[in-house]
Amino acid sequence: MEHKTLLYNARLVDETMDREHSALLIADGTIEKILTDKEAASLVQAARQQKTDTGRNGSSGDLELYDAQGHTVMPAFIDMHAHFRDPGLTQKEDLASGSRAAAAGGFGSLVLMPNTSPVISSQEVALSNNRRGAEIGLAELFQSVSITRNFGGTDISHLAGLDAKLVPLITEDGHEVQDSAVMFRAMQVAAQKKLIVSCHCEAPFLAAAARPLRTAALAELEKGNKEEAARLLAKADELLRLAEDTATDRNIRLAAQAGCHLHLCHVSTAHCLEAAIRAKKAGQDLSLEVTPHHIGLTGEAMPGIFNIVNPPLRAEEDRQALIEALISGDADAIATDHAPHTAEDKRKGSPGFSGLETAFAVCYTNLVLDSGMDLRTLSARMSAAPARLLSLNDRGLLKAGCRADLVIVDPEQCRTVRGEAFQSRGKYTPWEGSELTGQVTATFHAGRKVYGS
């Protein structure tokens, strides 16, 4: 028997609309129809009457009712960049804990990075992770594959066996392919196979030169030598900025020549934004993502070993440039770069934060409340745009025929962030103790509630 759910008393928001007093009728995991609350009221009344007449418990007759209590229903978010650490690093995160974090954060689909142990360099292993994610059933997982085998920097023979419909994206995330000739050949293969080449743009030797400076700076900070720490951090940041800027310039030029779709991960500098925008305006097949932590934080405000991330938190002028690009649409998508670590790893300076469960609140607070972005545009950056980039034509919007991957948010609810409450195994967050506005209250995956009361 067809299972139907009526989600009513809602504000519906996606890239194309913002409708108060509305409802969604869901049939077997798919959005069947958008209704007004007035239209939905007769269905609610009939379903409740049937329940009374039959004495059935649970759902109201053959129609399950869900009162959104006036909150906002949006398409579930789609993350093009997350680390679930599975296989081999499951003390940090595994597919189950990562999926729980995704559901708690309102995410319905996620692209997972291949820097696991061992590195994921085959379609077979990628599809195994996807199947395991489907068995968990909280979100759909798309496991990406490395550009070079085992991140070795030379062998790209495994790319010949990839099917873009099964593995849409390849990346050396956390690394950079040093040899430009190898990268160019990989991009040519990607162009032929219609694979997205997702680049962590960071020139390796410049990044390596910055690390001892940053380590020394953090040691001075621990001693209370703030002036010396600031001097060393400034030198390190110069090198790290140059590392991202030069690698971005190189990858844009190589991709233009190869004719592949280039996706720039976690863009963090104004220079990289400008280079990407120029390329897009010239007609290049290029997209870019921005992370919530680069939207909401700066390096000047958040120094310290626990706040190390790659690329690093930048200056305020970079942060503002990222915000402007997201508002204008020059930046395509928001992606979390969810990078959970154990407490011990963070103490040792491992880069990255757990970001799935704070992503919407950080973006709503910094983009909508503080910077004037409308909620439709935020939905576009977190749902519709990544759906288009990944050719997920059945999600990212609230319309008939789309899969009922939904998130319900309360835009007025404030919460003090506590990492210990995360579903993720990685409990560190740079927003610990901060109050953020805009909270996920429920998440539906293919019409089934997977988070919330």
SS3 (DSSP) at 436? strand
Helices 226-258 and 180-193: crossing angle, nearest 10°? 50
Cα–Cα distance for residue pair 398/388, rounded to 1 Å = 14
- Which residues are CB-contacts of 126 (< 8 A; sequence separation ≥ 6)? 114, 120, 143, 144, 145, 166, 167
Structure tokens at 13: 């928001």
Helix (H) or strand (E) holding 44: helix 37-54
CA count, 13 A, side-chain hemisphere, 344: 2
SS3 (DSSP) at 396? coil
Q: How big, in percent rounded to 5, are the helix, strand and coil portions of the chain?
A: 40, 20, 35
Catalytic center residues: 337
Structure tokens at 446: 């293919």
Q: Which of 372, 369, 376 is nearest to 398 (CA)?
A: 376
Helices marked H in 86-179 = 95-105, 123-136
SS (H, E, C) 187-216: HHHHHHHCCEEEECCCCHHHHHHHHHHHHH
- Which residues are CB-contacts of 264 (< 8 A; sequence separation ≥ 6)? 198, 199, 201, 248, 251, 272, 276, 286, 287, 288, 289
Helix (H) or strand (E) holding 173: none
- Which residues are CB-contacts of 212 (< 8 A; sequence separation ≥ 6)? none
The torsion defined by the Cα of 307, 309, 314 and 319, in degrees rounded to 10, comes to: -100
Cα–Cα distance for residue pair 243/239, rounded to 1 Å = 6
